[in-house]
Amino acid sequence: MTQGSDLDERISLLGAAWLFSACSDDELERIAALASPRTASAGDELTRQGDEGDEFFVVIDGDAVASIDGDPVGELGPGSFFGEMALIDGGERTATVTASTDMQLLVLDRHDFNEMLEVAMPSVMPKLLAVVGARMRLIEQHDGVIAALGL
């Protein structure tokens, strides 16, 4: 595959992810140039709760499960993304994400994630904040259930 067609493929894949659906062609091209393709096999741990986070993942193909304290809290499929919270606040990973099938991902490291936000701030930030808020509520609910059970 040539470099140009690889970039074109990443642009197409990003454009299909709902997070980037409002991005212009120029924004998608600039973000795609930052992203690195990665594959994962079923059973691979992509992030581990409590670890330092330095990558943001966009699921292109395949499925994964997010868990907190070993309890499944959500499924991630094509178009989903994860890893943003540790990059935004500099904290630890809030969940473990494990591939449940073979996966194709696009990955941005911390520097490239921040550059992506600068490139596409108006298009991406409202959606990103909505997801972060929903994930924070999920974590709070999970912690509340654990506390109520006395665990």
CATH number at residue 114: 2.60.120.10
More confident residue, 148 or 27: 27
pLDDT tens for each residue of 71-95: 998 899 998 889 888 888 888 998 9
CB 67, CB 73: distance < 8 Å: yes
Q: What is the pLDDT of residue 16?
A: 82
Q: Give the pLDDT confidence of 46-59 residue by residue, as tens digits.
A: 999 999 999 999 99
Checking if the pLDDT of 7 tops 70, the result is: yes
**Residue-wise pLDDT tens digits, 94-150:** 899 999 999 999 999 999 988 988 887 787 888 878 877 887 787 787 776 544 444
Given a cut of 60, whether residue 2 has pLDDT beyond it is: no
User: What is the residue range of 124's domain?
Assistant: 3-148
Domain count for the chain: 1
- Identify the pLDDT of residue 107: 94
